[in-house]
Amino acid sequence: MKDEYTSAFFDIVKEASETTGYQLPLEIESYVVMLLADKIDNPNFLPKTTFAQELFEIQNHRLKGKELGDTALFLSGVFPEYCENKVSVSYFVEIGSTSYTMCSKHLHSDLFEALSGNFNFIREFINVTVRKPNPLLHIG
């Protein structure tokens, strides 16, 4: 992850918060910034198998829940059209939310519980953040 991506996404997320009036808790805002900065320069972020198969395999691997939740959040927030063309956005919301729930149980983390419980809102916030015209960001 490059520092300039983190800095740019921090500014973009702050601006989106001010524009929309949506205030994310600091830990979730930071998580969204890091997620976007990490995934934006990685073209190979999709799971090797299906999302459903990856969800099934989370039972055996604690951090797979985080990875799958992150991928579902990134994909459904930044590329909802892709999700609609594949299955539906709600499918990715369910996969991501469930993944974070499983992760929170393994890691006993309030952060992942909050990501799970607010997955759709955070996804929509990410979508608003990256879809508004911004000279710092060029996606698509």
What number of other Cβ atoms are within 10 A of residue 105's Cβ?
14
Q: Which of 98, 101, 99 is nearest to 113 (CA)?
A: 101
Parent domain of 25: 3-131
The predicted pLDDT at position 138 comes to 46
pTM: 0.79
**Phi-psi category of residue 25: left, alpha or beta, with phi > 0 → left and psi -120 to 50 → alpha:** beta
Q: Is 82 within a domain?
A: yes
* Closest to 120 (Cα-Cα) out of 92, 82, 86, 88: 92
- Evaluate whether residue 100 is within a structural domain: yes
Token pair 């600091």: residue: 26
Residue 67 lies in a domain: yes
In-domain check, residue 30 = yes
Number of domains in the chain: 1
Please give the chain's pLDDT, 140 residues, in tens. Answer: 578 889 999 998 888 888 888 888 999 999 999 999 988 888 888 888 888 888 887 766 666 888 999 999 999 999 999 888 889 999 999 999 999 998 888 777 899 999 999 999 999 999 988 876 654 444 44
Residue 88, in any domain of the structure: yes
**Residue 136 belongs to a domain:** no
Taking the CA of residue 125 as centre, how many other CA atoms within 13 Å lie in the half-sphere pointing to its CB? Answer: 27
